[in-house]
Protein backbone atom coordinates (compact mmCIF):
# COMPACT_ATOMS: atom_id res chain seq x y z
CA UNK A 1 0.00 0.00 0.00
CA UNK A 2 2.96 2.33 0.55
CA UNK A 3 6.07 3.36 -1.35
CA UNK A 4 8.84 5.77 -0.43
CA UNK A 5 8.63 9.27 -1.97
CA UNK A 6 11.72 11.05 -3.23
CA UNK A 7 12.09 14.58 -1.89
CA UNK A 8 13.35 17.81 -3.45
CA UNK A 9 16.35 19.60 -1.97
CA UNK A 10 14.26 22.16 -0.08
CA UNK A 11 12.11 19.44 1.50
CA UNK A 12 15.20 17.49 2.46
CA UNK A 13 16.51 20.62 4.18
CA UNK A 14 13.28 21.16 6.11
CA UNK A 15 13.13 17.50 7.09
CA UNK A 16 16.74 17.64 8.31
CA UNK A 17 15.90 20.63 10.51
CA UNK A 18 12.57 19.51 11.98
CA UNK A 19 12.07 15.75 11.55
CA UNK A 20 15.31 13.89 10.81
CA UNK A 21 14.88 10.30 9.61
CA UNK A 22 11.12 10.72 9.08
CA UNK A 23 10.11 8.67 6.01
CA UNK A 24 7.71 10.20 3.49
CA UNK A 25 5.46 7.62 1.87
CA UNK A 26 2.95 7.58 -0.98
CA UNK A 27 -0.27 5.64 -0.35
CA UNK A 28 -1.95 3.73 -3.15
CA UNK A 29 -5.38 5.04 -2.17
CA UNK A 30 -7.21 7.93 -0.57
CA UNK A 31 -8.40 7.25 2.95
CA UNK A 32 -9.89 8.82 6.02
CA UNK A 33 -8.57 6.11 8.32
CA UNK A 34 -6.04 3.56 7.12
CA UNK A 35 -7.35 0.02 7.74
CA UNK A 36 -5.46 -1.55 10.66
CA UNK A 37 -3.90 -4.31 8.55
CA UNK A 38 -2.64 -1.76 6.03
CA UNK A 39 -1.43 0.56 8.79
CA UNK A 40 0.74 -2.24 10.10
CA UNK A 41 2.54 -2.21 6.74
CA UNK A 42 4.14 1.00 7.96
CA UNK A 43 6.36 -1.28 10.00
CA UNK A 44 8.31 -2.01 6.83
CA UNK A 45 9.55 1.61 6.75
CA UNK A 46 10.16 2.40 10.44
CA UNK A 47 11.95 0.95 13.43
CA UNK A 48 8.80 0.12 15.37
CA UNK A 49 5.07 0.76 15.71
CA UNK A 50 3.72 2.41 18.85
CA UNK A 51 -0.12 2.36 18.65
CA UNK A 52 -1.81 4.97 20.84
CA UNK A 53 -4.89 4.48 23.01
CA UNK A 54 -6.87 6.87 25.19
CA UNK A 55 -9.33 6.58 28.11
CA UNK A 56 -13.00 6.00 27.31
CA UNK A 57 -13.87 8.63 29.92
CA UNK A 58 -12.57 11.34 27.61
CA UNK A 59 -15.56 10.96 25.28
CA UNK A 60 -19.31 11.53 25.72
CA UNK A 61 -21.49 8.47 25.27
CA UNK A 62 -22.67 9.51 21.80
CA UNK A 63 -19.27 10.44 20.34
CA UNK A 64 -18.84 9.60 16.64
CA UNK A 65 -17.80 6.02 15.94
CA UNK A 66 -14.61 7.18 14.21
CA UNK A 67 -13.55 8.92 17.41
CA UNK A 68 -14.29 5.83 19.49
CA UNK A 69 -12.19 3.80 17.08
CA UNK A 70 -9.32 6.27 17.27
CA UNK A 71 -9.50 6.25 21.06
CA UNK A 72 -9.41 2.46 21.29
CA UNK A 73 -6.61 -0.04 21.07
CA UNK A 74 -6.90 -0.68 17.32
CA UNK A 75 -3.93 0.80 15.44
CA UNK A 76 -5.57 3.80 13.75
CA UNK A 77 -3.83 6.27 11.44
CA UNK A 78 -5.67 9.20 9.90
CA UNK A 79 -9.08 10.72 10.58
CA UNK A 80 -11.81 12.59 8.67
CA UNK A 81 -10.69 16.10 7.79
CA UNK A 82 -6.97 15.32 7.73
CA UNK A 83 -6.44 16.48 4.15
CA UNK A 84 -4.02 15.29 1.48
CA UNK A 85 -0.94 14.78 3.68
CA UNK A 86 -1.08 13.17 7.11
CA UNK A 87 1.54 12.25 9.65
CA UNK A 88 1.67 9.94 12.61
CA UNK A 89 3.89 9.67 15.66
CA UNK A 90 2.60 6.16 16.29
CA UNK A 91 5.71 4.99 14.47
CA UNK A 92 9.33 5.49 15.43
CA UNK A 93 10.43 7.64 13.73
CA UNK A 94 7.21 9.52 12.87
CA UNK A 95 5.92 8.98 9.33
CA UNK A 96 4.47 11.36 6.72
CA UNK A 97 1.94 9.87 4.27
CA UNK A 98 0.71 11.41 1.01
CA UNK A 99 -2.71 10.16 -0.03
CA UNK A 100 -3.40 9.21 -3.63
CA UNK A 101 -5.05 12.58 -4.27
CA UNK A 102 -1.56 14.07 -3.98
CA UNK A 103 -1.10 13.00 -7.61
CA UNK A 104 -3.40 15.86 -8.68
CA UNK A 105 -2.26 18.40 -6.08
CA UNK A 106 -0.13 21.27 -7.48
CA UNK A 107 3.53 20.50 -6.87
CA UNK A 108 4.42 23.58 -4.83
CA UNK A 109 1.37 23.31 -2.59
CA UNK A 110 2.02 19.60 -2.04
CA UNK A 111 5.59 20.46 -1.11
CA UNK A 112 4.27 22.94 1.45
CA UNK A 113 1.94 20.30 2.93
CA UNK A 114 4.84 17.88 3.33
CA UNK A 115 7.05 20.60 4.82
CA UNK A 116 4.23 21.59 7.17
CA UNK A 117 4.08 18.01 8.42
CA UNK A 118 7.81 18.09 9.18
CA UNK A 119 7.40 21.34 11.11
CA UNK A 120 4.48 19.96 13.13
CA UNK A 121 6.45 16.83 13.99
CA UNK A 122 9.36 18.98 15.11
CA UNK A 123 7.05 21.20 17.17
CA UNK A 124 6.04 18.12 19.16
CA UNK A 125 2.31 18.75 18.79
CA UNK A 126 -0.19 15.86 18.94
CA UNK A 127 -1.20 14.29 15.66
CA UNK A 128 -4.92 14.51 16.53
CA UNK A 129 -7.22 16.73 18.55
CA UNK A 130 -8.22 13.99 21.00
CA UNK A 131 -4.97 13.94 23.00
CA UNK A 132 -4.91 17.75 22.73
CA UNK A 133 -8.29 18.06 24.48
CA UNK A 134 -8.02 14.96 26.63
CA UNK A 135 -10.69 14.92 29.34
CA UNK A 136 -11.68 18.48 28.36
CA UNK A 137 -13.35 17.08 25.23
CA UNK A 138 -16.45 16.31 27.27
CA UNK A 139 -16.47 19.93 28.47
CA UNK A 140 -16.19 21.13 24.88
CA UNK A 141 -19.13 18.92 23.94
CA UNK A 142 -21.17 20.36 26.83
CA UNK A 143 -20.30 23.92 25.79
CA UNK A 144 -21.49 23.28 22.24
CA UNK A 145 -24.45 20.95 22.85
CA UNK A 146 -25.51 21.64 26.45
CA UNK A 147 -29.21 21.98 27.38
CA UNK A 148 -29.00 25.78 27.39
CA UNK A 149 -27.18 26.02 24.06
CA UNK A 150 -29.33 27.17 21.10
CA UNK A 151 -29.52 25.15 17.90
CA UNK A 152 -29.35 21.45 17.27
CA UNK A 153 -25.65 20.72 16.80
CA UNK A 154 -24.66 17.07 16.70
CA UNK A 155 -21.70 15.00 17.94
CA UNK A 156 -20.28 15.28 14.42
CA UNK A 157 -20.50 19.07 14.67
CA UNK A 158 -18.53 18.94 17.93
CA UNK A 159 -15.93 16.79 16.17
CA UNK A 160 -15.67 19.40 13.40
CA UNK A 161 -15.29 22.29 15.83
CA UNK A 162 -12.73 20.39 17.93
CA UNK A 163 -10.68 19.58 14.86
CA UNK A 164 -10.79 23.23 13.76
CA UNK A 165 -9.78 24.56 17.18
CA UNK A 166 -6.88 22.15 17.29
CA UNK A 167 -5.84 23.24 13.79
CA UNK A 168 -5.75 26.86 14.97
CA UNK A 169 -3.61 25.99 18.01
CA UNK A 170 -1.14 24.09 15.85
CA UNK A 171 -1.09 27.02 13.43
CA UNK A 172 -0.17 29.40 16.23
CA UNK A 173 2.78 27.23 17.16
CA UNK A 174 4.11 26.73 13.62
CA UNK A 175 3.38 29.80 11.49
CA UNK A 176 6.49 31.67 12.61
CA UNK A 177 8.53 28.91 11.03
CA UNK A 178 6.65 29.25 7.74
CA UNK A 179 7.15 33.01 7.72
CA UNK A 180 10.87 32.46 8.29
CA UNK A 181 11.25 30.50 5.06
CA UNK A 182 11.42 33.73 3.02
CA UNK A 183 14.85 33.93 1.47
CA UNK A 184 15.82 30.38 2.43
CA UNK A 185 13.01 28.23 1.02
CA UNK A 186 11.20 30.67 -1.24
CA UNK A 187 9.12 28.04 -3.05
CA UNK A 188 7.67 26.80 0.25
CA UNK A 189 7.23 30.34 1.58
CA UNK A 190 5.39 31.44 -1.57
CA UNK A 191 3.09 28.40 -1.35
CA UNK A 192 2.28 29.30 2.28
CA UNK A 193 1.50 32.91 1.30
CA UNK A 194 -0.57 31.84 -1.72
CA UNK A 195 -2.66 29.44 0.37
CA UNK A 196 -3.39 32.26 2.80
CA UNK A 197 -4.37 34.66 0.06
CA UNK A 198 -6.95 32.16 -1.16
CA UNK A 199 -8.65 32.38 2.25
CA UNK A 200 -8.76 36.14 2.72
CA UNK A 201 -11.71 36.97 0.49
CA UNK A 202 -14.24 35.03 2.57
CA UNK A 203 -13.00 35.69 6.09
CA UNK A 204 -14.70 39.05 6.59
CA UNK A 205 -17.97 37.60 5.33
CA UNK A 206 -18.09 34.74 7.85
CA UNK A 207 -20.33 36.41 10.48
CA UNK A 208 -22.70 37.67 7.78
CA UNK A 209 -22.93 34.27 6.13
CA UNK A 210 -23.63 32.59 9.46
CA UNK A 211 -26.36 35.13 10.24
CA UNK A 212 -27.99 34.42 6.89
CA UNK A 213 -27.83 30.67 7.39
CA UNK A 214 -25.47 30.28 4.43
CA UNK A 215 -22.79 28.66 6.62
CA UNK A 216 -23.07 26.67 9.82
CA UNK A 217 -21.06 27.60 12.90
CA UNK A 218 -18.85 24.49 12.60
CA UNK A 219 -18.15 25.33 8.94
CA UNK A 220 -17.25 28.92 9.80
CA UNK A 221 -15.03 27.77 12.66
CA UNK A 222 -13.21 25.39 10.35
CA UNK A 223 -12.64 28.12 7.79
CA UNK A 224 -11.49 30.73 10.29
CA UNK A 225 -9.19 28.37 12.15
CA UNK A 226 -7.47 27.31 8.94
CA UNK A 227 -6.54 30.97 8.44
CA UNK A 228 -4.65 31.14 11.75
CA UNK A 229 -1.80 29.16 10.18
CA UNK A 230 -1.40 31.96 7.62
CA UNK A 231 -1.43 34.82 10.16
CA UNK A 232 -4.55 36.43 8.72
CA UNK A 233 -6.93 38.84 10.48
CA UNK A 234 -9.98 36.99 11.80
CA UNK A 235 -13.47 38.36 12.43
CA UNK A 236 -15.29 38.15 15.76
CA UNK A 237 -15.66 35.73 17.56
CA UNK A 238 -12.75 33.89 15.99
CA UNK A 239 -10.19 36.66 16.53
CA UNK A 240 -9.98 35.58 20.18
CA UNK A 241 -8.33 32.36 18.99
CA UNK A 242 -5.43 34.24 17.41
CA UNK A 243 -3.72 35.04 20.69
CA UNK A 244 -0.65 34.11 22.67
CA UNK A 245 -3.00 33.03 25.46
CA UNK A 246 -4.40 30.28 23.25
CA UNK A 247 -0.93 29.16 22.20
CA UNK A 248 0.05 28.96 25.88
CA UNK A 249 -3.10 27.49 27.46
CA UNK A 250 -4.34 25.22 24.69
CA UNK A 251 -7.41 23.09 25.41
CA UNK A 252 -8.46 25.01 28.54
CA UNK A 253 -8.57 28.23 26.53
CA UNK A 254 -10.43 26.53 23.65
CA UNK A 255 -13.14 25.22 25.96
CA UNK A 256 -13.54 28.60 27.63
CA UNK A 257 -13.78 30.26 24.20
CA UNK A 258 -16.54 27.82 23.21
CA UNK A 259 -18.42 28.43 26.46
CA UNK A 260 -18.32 32.22 26.03
CA UNK A 261 -19.10 32.07 22.31
CA UNK A 262 -22.12 29.83 22.63
CA UNK A 263 -23.35 31.76 25.66
CA UNK A 264 -23.27 34.87 23.49
CA UNK A 265 -25.20 33.06 20.76
CA UNK A 266 -27.82 32.07 23.33
CA UNK A 267 -28.13 35.68 24.53
CA UNK A 268 -28.43 36.91 20.95
CA UNK A 269 -31.18 34.44 20.08
CA UNK A 270 -33.08 35.26 23.29
CA UNK A 271 -32.97 38.99 22.46
CA UNK A 272 -34.20 38.41 18.93
CA UNK A 273 -37.15 36.28 20.10
CA UNK A 274 -38.28 38.75 22.82
**If you compute the radius of gyration of the chain from its CA atoms, what whole number of angstroms results?**
19
Q: What is the pLDDT of residue 128?
A: 96
Are 145 and 137 in contact by the 8 Å Cβ rule? The answer is no
Q: What is the pLDDT of residue 274?
A: 42
Helices (H), 33-184: 36-39, 65-71, 107-122, 129-133, 137-145, 155-179
CA dist 74 → 36, 129, 192 (Å)? 7, 17, 35
Q: Over its length of 274 residues, how does the chain's per-residue pLDDT go in tens digits?
A: 899 999 999 999 999 999 999 999 999 988 888 887 788 899 999 999 999 999 999 999 999 999 999 999 888 888 888 899 999 999 999 999 999 999 999 999 999 999 999 999 999 999 999 999 999 999 999 999 987 776 789 999 999 999 999 999 999 999 999 999 999 999 999 999 999 999 987 888 898 898 888 999 999 999 999 999 999 999 999 999 999 999 999 999 999 999 999 888 765 554 454 4
Q: What is the pLDDT of residue 210?
A: 86
Q: What is the pLDDT of residue 75?
A: 87
Other CB atoms within 10 Å distance of the CB of residue 207: 16
3-state secondary structure of 218: helix
Whether this prediction's pTM lies above 0.85 is answered by: yes
Name the E strands within the chain: 2-4, 24-27, 48-49, 85-88, 91-92, 95-98
Are 85 and 120 in contact by the 8 Å Cβ rule? The answer is no
Amino acid sequence: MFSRRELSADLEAVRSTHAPDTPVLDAESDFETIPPAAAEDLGLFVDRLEPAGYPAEWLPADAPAVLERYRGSTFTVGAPGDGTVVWTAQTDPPTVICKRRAETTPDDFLAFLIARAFVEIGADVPEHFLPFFGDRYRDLDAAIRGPDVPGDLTPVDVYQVANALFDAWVGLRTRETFAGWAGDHDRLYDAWVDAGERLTGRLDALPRRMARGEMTFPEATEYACSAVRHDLDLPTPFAALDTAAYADHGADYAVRWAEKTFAALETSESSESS
